[in-house]
Amino acid sequence: MRIDYTDVLVIGGGLAGLRAGLAAKRRGQDVIILSLVPPKRSHSAAAMGGMQASLANVIKGSGDNEDVHFADTVRGGDWGADQEVVRVFVDTAPKAVRELSAWGVPWTRVHKGDRETVINGQRFVITEREEAHGLISQRNFGGTSLWRACYVSDGTGHAMLYAISDQTIAANIPVRERVEALALIHDAGRCYGAVIRDLISGELSAYVAKATVIATGGAGRLYRVTTNAVINEGIGAAIALETGRAALGNMEAIQFHPTALFPSGILITEGCRGDGGILRDVDNYRFMPDYEPEKKELASRDVVSRHMLEHIQNGKGVKSRLGQHLWLDITLLGRAHIERHLQEVREICRHFLDIDPSKDPIPVMPAQHYTMGGVRTNLLGESPGLKGLFAVGEASCWDLHGFNRLGGNSVAETVVAGMIVGEFIADFCQKPKSDLNIPTSLIHEFLKREQARIDALLGGGDEDANRLRTRMQEVMTEKVGIFRTGIQLAAAVEELQSLLLKSRNIGVRNKSRGANPELATAYRVQKMLKLALCVACGALARTESRGAHFRYDFPRRDDVQWLRRTLATWSSESDTLPTLVYEPLDVMRMELPPGWRGYGAKDYVPHPDAARRTAEIEVARSRLTGADRFELQKALMPYDHLLPPHLRARNRRIEGTVT
């Protein structure tokens, strides 16, 4: 069996993987990218509405900067995020947007002068500044205090992905398309690459690398109704889990997007609400202000999704043959606006429902959307449990998002993490002690093990892979959804365990060793069930409500017990449950101690250190009266030294020089 050697092996050809690969390549490392599909078909292309970066070009973004973006992100994540990671992220996001601009992304631009806009259901005229003319425009999004989402109409992810994919072609980085990583090769706590299956020929081979990068995106297909693409099955995170060394962080933190098209689950961008769209019920009544007077439709996604379900439970859903839904109304934005800025939404409505969103309301329901959890990494993007294994983007738990991600922060994370972690990967590869020292017998052992697994599936037990997968998706959707209870979660864990046992006895009907979708489903569902168990067990153990994780039986956020990150490992192949341990978050090192998010529930159990840390911060503030925001920030939680040197410069904006 064939063995290829490289410095950096990137598994996943979406935005995060491509950008990390580019960074390493620019530092002189040999890079190979593996992708299930042609990279431009990755799920990154489906990001529609925008990318958060505090450029503050539009008048409604006036006053925006890293500090505001930082606070919005930490609050959005309900204090689950790693605040140092949030800092390096918000500092780099404007640089990432500007880099993409230089690489050709046709960002929508600011036009000086008056323009009509819809805010809170009313038409307003706002006046853009002369000096902002031609700079990158921002739109409003949920959970943000200012207009910060930079966008390309509603094809933001598509435009970003094409620009970055074309850069990797320009940099001559080989992308192996239609291949899938089945297992990581590792020994004694060090990762050495992966065993790969060619999805066309079915052949197995090994890629041996100094650094292996998981960039495979989320695991939305654990659920029946999801906005995610069909390839988002979480296999990258699963093969990390299967090492028994790498841990997955916060897998119970699953985001449900409020406005997925009903019933297919296709994403309708948050930009619809950001631009002024509103939610209505069966009586055509706008209900969100009753639940959420502060932010209304533009509270964070976890909050809006919960209120939508609550409203349906109150009997206000629109009943249809296929179940209940609510309406997203963007008719008030007008045809001209929709044709310019929401044209994908218009196409989707036309093709899938035969409706015109400038005249008709859009039927929507919350659907699984984002996996906040993933391969737990440190700030360098490296797994603490498995040296040489890195993770970026949605597949990772870098921990930018905590327990709820803000709209526009994920597509931003992909490129920002790629820029930052890509540098650390290059640093890692350049260290002499990272040199490869691995016997080929070990590689062959891994290859043989994977071949034996495939042979077993082709040889035939009597379980049906598709049926197990469908049942898993139903269990996850019904019992590990937006509203959770201990009883339901325990039932989910029990059934998922039995499905996992059954999955060890799958036999496929189609015996082809080459292109064989049933065989792929078979080995994937074995891995997906482990992920599903990490989600369900983490959710069952977490007896509180935080961000997107909501427990009816424990409705309050509990900072005393649960200001900590869940780490799941899979110790032995014969196990049927993950092993959970917890990583505490240190309030005394936080720049923003836990408090109320500014929307959603006001009731929580405060951490004993929160008041002490707040007092400490007050003292620092008064001591530094008159200092600029940078000095103050530095006194609270310095982060400059954590960034790669070339990314440390202060971001300039039209407002003032660097303030």
Partner 1 sequence: MSETKHRQLTIKVFRYDPRTPEVAPRMQAFQVEEAEGMTLFIALNEIRETMDPGLNFDFVCRAGVCGSCGMLINGRPGLACRTLTKNLGREITLAPLPGFELIADLSVNTGKWMRAMSERLETWIHASQEETDLAQLEERMEPDLAEAIYQLDRCIECGCCVAACGTAQMRKDFVGAVGLNKVARFRLDPRDRRSDDDYFDLIGDDDGVFGCMSLLGCHDVCPKNLPLQTQIAFLRRKMTVSGLKPAGKRKR
Cβ closer to partner 1: 70 or 162? 162
Q: What are phi and psi of 558, to 5 degrees?
A: -120, 95
- Contact between residue 136 and residue 147 where contact means Cβ atoms under 8 Å apart: no
Amino acid in position 184: L
- Token pair listed for 146: 């200012």
Q: How far apart are CA 321 and CA 302, in angstroms?
A: 27
Q: How far apart are CA 639 and CA 659, in angstroms?
A: 17
Which residues are 190's β-sheet partners?
A: 187, 387
Q: How far apart are CA 659 and CA 656, in angstroms?
A: 6
- Token pair listed for 144: 């943000």
Cβ closer to partner 1: 320 or 505? 320
Q: Which position among 139, 158, 245, 273 bears the catalytic label?
A: 273
Q: How far is the CB of 254 from partner 1 (least distance, A)?
A: 20
- Contact between residue 152 and residue 72 where contact means Cβ atoms under 8 Å apart: no
Q: How far is the CB of 256 from partner 1 (least distance, A)?
A: 17
Cβ closer to partner 1: 121 or 263? 263
435 — alpha (psi -120 to 50), left (phi > 0) or beta?
beta
HSE toward the beta carbon, residue 624, CA cutoff 13 A? 16
Q: How far is the CB of 656 from partner 1 (least distance, A)?
A: 12
Q: How far is the CB of 269 from partner 1 (least distance, A)?
A: 11
Q: How far is the CB of 287 from partner 1 (least distance, A)?
A: 25
Cβ closer to partner 1: 250 or 371? 371
Cβ closer to partner 1: 95 or 190? 95
- Contact between residue 236 and residue 553 where contact means Cβ atoms under 8 Å apart: no
Tally Cβ neighbours within 10 Å of residue 306.
23
Q: How far is the CB of 651 from partner 1 (least distance, A)?
A: 6
Q: How far apart are CA 524 and CA 170, in angstroms?
A: 33
Q: How far is the CB of 90 from partner 1 (least distance, A)?
A: 14
Cβ closer to partner 1: 616 or 640? 640
Within 171-300, residue ranges assigned H as helices are 235-241, 271-274, 288-291
In terms of Cα–Cα distance, which of 200, 225, 254 is closest to 480?
Answer: 254
- Contact between residue 330 and residue 349 where contact means Cβ atoms under 8 Å apart: no
133 part of the active site: no
Cβ closer to partner 1: 196 or 443? 196
Distances (CA, A) of 477 to 39, 130, 195, 226: 29, 50, 32, 9
- Token pair listed for 388: 């040489």
Q: Which position among 257, 376, 557, 653 bears the catalytic label?
A: 257
Cβ closer to partner 1: 177 or 616? 177
Q: How far is the CB of 530 from partner 1 (least distance, A)?
A: 22
Q: How far apart are CA 188 and CA 432, in angstroms?
A: 18
41 part of the active site: no
Q: How far apart are CA 597 and CA 595, in angstroms?
A: 6
Helix H or strand E segment including 412 = helix 409-430
Catalytic residues: 257, 273
